[in-house]
Structure 1
């Protein structure tokens, strides 16, 4: 069925069910950022494939809300459908709650699958329904007739890891010592606490589950047959009971009225409803502890980034040698990146779908190239490649924008402005207690001075063999309530600039927060060890200090990575990391 036919069929179902509007978010029952195919209902109905967005369908109208990373992509994918794009974050754009309140009238019903929204989001929908004298249903489920070939839940195996630097017994003990009962629903939190990893998501090694932690024990709700013998033994040693995944709702209902601590931003509205009136809204603190990597995790992460650098340096050299000489497209170039990573010891999978956008496609922030429509690489312009890997040693994420030949003056200027912002943030020294919101201005100032900006955050946390996007820390002026940066936190540094129909630029490294030389101050240590392309720099815009910063970084890259390369690649790396203005 086409998108139009799917929306028509959904509306027929809505009429039969006396529903005026249905809200369809992106998340799964665990409110994950990236979800398995079984939960991709919003993408199935709308045709918009980005990782973030909410579809709302009324009987005579429909809208989709998504953030600045996906405005261009969503506009293209929604073209020709009955769905209106609401580019969230832009001035004057109504929220979905405002639209619902304007279009749904008194006595009408708003419906949503309560397992796919948080309790906090559910409260906002309830408020909207109350304002208009309407009703909210949390029990809506997509009928099988609307999605007849819906993929089944994944059945990936679950196994323990042994290089976390802190045992699962210690992590559980931190929860048990509180003598409270917690329901933990975020998949990466569960994997972290138990030192287990799975295969249920394509690029994030987690597993569908819930973890109930009581003062005297714990229960893991997980699909039968997913635990390897090693994982079963691991859980037995921890005295963690195993129960069927689908039994969690009954378990919550049986504890209705009990005092259970839940995070209202993580628990889905359906489970919150089942737990009843005595729920304590709070936090288990796992996210904050998970964000601070142990010395063992950092040691392994540094190894992972060296392997990643070997793959990326090989790729950059390959492009320089072959663009314009052999047929290359965005798809084939992306496949080469993935292949080079797969040749590294301990490689498991990409950490997300590789983004490879040439010229105008690079301006689509989370662009996904398709074999039938992708661009052919030519010896001119810019290629943006955002990619990463999951290794037994950890998770990587890097973006480089690569000149393939002749560039316009605007491209060179924009690349240099983004680089200046990246270097300013990378070399920041700041007091303990500083948040990412306070540092964001460093990365944006060179662009702001020219009246330019970008519609995404400057930095996100990264997990250890977990999600490539991990909180609670971030770098972005939009997150004024974010936590302070602390020693051991791994965060990305990725300013960018995107000129529609022309080019996109993003330069991303991962870095870890460390103590600075001055007491009470912090700084960043680079984890990513891949050169920036000097051919794209307008040196007239660079200050002496910025040239020194770049030279220091390139010296570090050469010192750490050259011994791991062939003689040919070592000589090439020496050439591209030497400072010649």
Structure 2
């Protein structure tokens, strides 16, 4: 008989007692600190039933809780029922509030354990330092491997080296830029664990993680050697030969640990947010550690000319798919049964018709009515909500293409809408246009642009609880740093070549939600006596619905921006559409 989650919790507590552990922490990450993880590392879902992508389980002998943020309150409450776990609501998103709780609840001399592989350096050190003030020790312990029968193995899907002509830069050039950065940091050794950074550096792609075209691997780079750690069988013989020609030594995936332990008398650069705490604990005392962001993160964020050209092509393919989906939706709503789930599958089907489609870039957020008020809502496949010919439908979705990654949100009316829905739609559109049309001095940071986007909402006493934008990869992760557009003062400017989303929203619980999202490319603008200015080029190519806009709430220049954008969408997509589809889109793109 399969173990229930209560059974698993009991088994964990027995193992804890045997090991002399008073509290056990289970994070939602893998050894690479990934947003999405292979099945083998879905430890929280195995232990508790909670399937959200972010959260932390903390278990003691008399309490078990899931610390999660507002995005998952409703989902967690449902999935944790009967599991033995309680939902602990985070007050501040992305903060480890459970650390203070452990310090208050545990007695001096207690032991807290967790799998050091699955905790970042930054978080591992924070836990150690904070608990030490309460005279509480930490210990490495992987209880999942002891309890999880038939635990999924690591994926064995093939990997491939991309043609360098399609990447716009050779591995040799990228490696040279990385080594220049390491020299500036006075580091002779660098370990890279983050999968998207490795994919970009080596021009390699795979299918080891849902939604992210990456390969499970590590790299150890010195001033004169490069070692790539991965399952050799993933690569074709020709790619193995290519890597050898490029001076890359191949080793087994798990050999990274022993090589790290053998390092001596050197200085290593480690990215605290993207490197596991285990690696830090394995270093010899003769190794000096420089804690800095992996230089590849910034290098990767600046798209080159080839990447930009291919991204624009991917946006057209995506726009064609979305045009066909929204045409299908409009023509069939109220005539056939359409649910949030079937709609999310239908848009995937339209994307799959594209010759360069390579997979979806994240699980689609398809919310109708009140469900659209949940920013990270996932439609229920088992009991799907039916769409009716009234109210608003929000679709946040994206795809991977050869070569480019998309992320787009559109909110559309399915029939009669309320005055409040029309007003909210118009205000969100206004915020998105304000951001998209912004011109700003070189060196401007994301929080400054965030304020530009929110200003009209703030004037109405309205705000939203998520960031306004994130970086997007080149046929890579849909969420990419280092740049973001949000309230926090991230010390990263929005530089030319960066691909970033702009996605403001309004969410009214129990009623409706509105979000409109485009991807923008930062480009150079004019240079004046006051300095160099930058601006955005909108690269997403999908019409914005104008049928419920309250035009009096938009400035003339915003209306002009909208009309120009929709006309550009029509002009770009028309050659790839049938005559019937083009006529339908022309009507949608009419100037207001």
Q: Do the structures match in fold with TM over 0.5?
A: yes
Describe the superposition over 1:70-102 as per-residue Cα deviations: whole angstroms up to 9, x where unpaired: 3443344334544333333559x9811211111
How much does 1:284 deviate?
Answer: 4.0
> Is the CA contact (8 Å cut-off) linking 1:437 and 1:482 kept in structure 2?
no
Q: Give 1:550's aligned residue.
A: 562
Please give the alpha-carbon distance, in whole angstroms, between the structure 1 residues aligned to 2:88 and 2:536.
Answer: 37
- Match 1:172 to one of 175, 178, 199: 175
Please give the alpha-carbon distance, in whole angstroms, between the structure 2 residues aligned to 1:473 and 1:10.
Answer: 39
Q: 1:465 to 1:502 in 2, by over 3 A?
A: same
- Match 1:132 to one of 131, 134, 139: 134
Structure 1: tracts of 5 or more residues without a match: none
Q: 1:119 to 1:10 in 2, by over 3 A?
A: same
Please give the alpha-carbon distance, in whole angstroms, between the structure 1 residues aligned to 2:322 and 2:40.
Answer: 33
> Is the CA contact (8 Å cut-off) linking 2:230 and 2:250 kept in structure 1?
yes
Please give the alpha-carbon distance, in whole angstroms, between the structure 2 residues aligned to 1:150 and 1:161.
Answer: 32
How much does 1:103 deviate?
Answer: 1.1
Please give the alpha-carbon distance, in whole angstroms, between the structure 2 residues aligned to 1:568 and 1:473.
Answer: 41
Q: Give 1:157's aligned residue.
A: 158
Equivalent position SS for 2:478: coil
- Match 1:517 to one of 526, 530, 547: 526
Please give the alpha-carbon distance, in whole angstroms, between the structure 2 residues aligned to 1:396 and 1:94.
Answer: 31
How much does 1:9 deviate?
Answer: 2.4
- Match 2:383 to one of 373, 391, 394: 373
Please give the alpha-carbon distance, in whole angstroms, between the structure 1 residues aligned to 2:527 and 2:16.
Answer: 63
Equivalent position SS for 1:468: coil
Describe the superposition over 1:266-292 as per-residue Cα deviations: whole angstroms up to 9, x where unpaired: 211101111133232234411001000
1:494 aligns with 2:496: no
Please give the alpha-carbon distance, in whole angstroms, between the structure 2 residues aligned to 1:483 and 1:169.
Answer: 26
1:526 aligns with 2:541: no
Written as runs of structure 1 = structure 2, the 5 A alignment for 1:269-418 is 269-277=277-285, 278-281=287-290, 282-418=292-428
Q: 1:449 to 1:174 in 2, by over 3 A?
A: same
Please give the alpha-carbon distance, in whole angstroms, between the structure 2 residues aligned to 1:65 and 1:536.
Answer: 39
> Is the CA contact (8 Å cut-off) linking 1:384 and 1:400 kept in structure 2?
yes
Describe the superposition over 1:141-164 as per-residue Cα deviations: whole angstroms up to 9, x where unpaired: 024453213211001111111211
- Match 2:193 to one of 185, 197, 221: 185
Describe the superposition over 1:86-144 as per-residue Cα deviations: whole angstroms up to 9, x where unpaired: 333559x981121111111101111111011111111110022201111101x210244
Equivalent position SS for 2:169: coil
The worse-fitting range, judged by mean Cα deviation, of 75-84 and 429-438 is: 75-84
Q: 1:143 to 1:494 in 2, by over 3 A?
A: closer
> Is the CA contact (8 Å cut-off) linking 1:88 and 1:95 kept in structure 2?
yes
Equivalent position SS for 2:88: strand
The worse-fitting range, judged by mean Cα deviation, of 433-442 and 48-57 is: 48-57
> Is the CA contact (8 Å cut-off) linking 2:446 and 2:490 kept in structure 1?
no
Describe the superposition over 1:348-395 as per-residue Cα deviations: whole angstroms up to 9, x where unpaired: 100111221111222222222222211011101111111111111211
> Is the CA contact (8 Å cut-off) linking 2:117 and 2:276 kept in structure 1?
yes
Q: 1:543 to 1:75 in 2, by over 3 A?
A: farther
Equivalent position SS for 2:582: helix
> Is the CA contact (8 Å cut-off) linking 1:119 and 1:265 kept in structure 2?
yes
- Match 2:256 to one of 248, 252, 255: 248
Please give the alpha-carbon distance, in whole angstroms, between the structure 2 residues aligned to 1:145 and 1:129.
Answer: 26
How much does 1:251 deviate?
Answer: 0.8
TM-score (norm 2): 0.94
How much does 1:257 deviate?
Answer: 4.9
Please give the alpha-carbon distance, in whole angstroms, between the structure 2 residues aligned to 1:101 and 1:339.
Answer: 50
TM-score (norm 1): 0.96
- Match 2:485 to one of 472, 475, 496: 475
- Match 1:258 to one of 261, 266, 273: 266
Please give the alpha-carbon distance, in whole angstroms, between the structure 1 residues aligned to 2:514 and 2:54.
Answer: 21
Please give the alpha-carbon distance, in whole angstroms, between the structure 2 residues aligned to 1:10 and 1:135.
Answer: 19
Please give the alpha-carbon distance, in whole angstroms, between the structure 2 residues aligned to 1:288 and 1:136.
Answer: 33
How much does 1:64 deviate?
Answer: 2.3
How much does 1:499 deviate?
Answer: 1.8
Please give the alpha-carbon distance, in whole angstroms, between the structure 2 residues aligned to 1:373 and 1:276.
Answer: 54
> Is the CA contact (8 Å cut-off) linking 1:72 and 1:364 kept in structure 2?
no
- Match 1:455 to one of 453, 460, 465: 465
> Is the CA contact (8 Å cut-off) linking 1:454 and 1:495 kept in structure 2?
yes
4+ aligned runs moved over 4 Å, structure 1: none
1:565 aligns with 2:577: yes
Structure 2: tracts of 5 or more residues without a match: none
> Is the CA contact (8 Å cut-off) linking 1:472 and 1:482 kept in structure 2?
no
Q: Give 1:421's aligned residue.
A: 431
Equivalent position SS for 1:383: strand
1:51 aligns with 2:61: no
> Is the CA contact (8 Å cut-off) linking 1:256 and 1:274 kept in structure 2?
no
> Is the CA contact (8 Å cut-off) linking 2:25 and 2:114 kept in structure 1?
yes
The worse-fitting range, judged by mean Cα deviation, of 561-570 and 487-496 is: 561-570
> Is the CA contact (8 Å cut-off) linking 1:68 and 1:456 kept in structure 2?
no
Equivalent position SS for 1:64: strand
Equivalent position SS for 1:516: strand
Written as runs of structure 1 = structure 2, the 5 A alignment for 1:82-161 is 82-90=84-92, 95-137=97-139, 139-144=140-145, 146-161=147-162
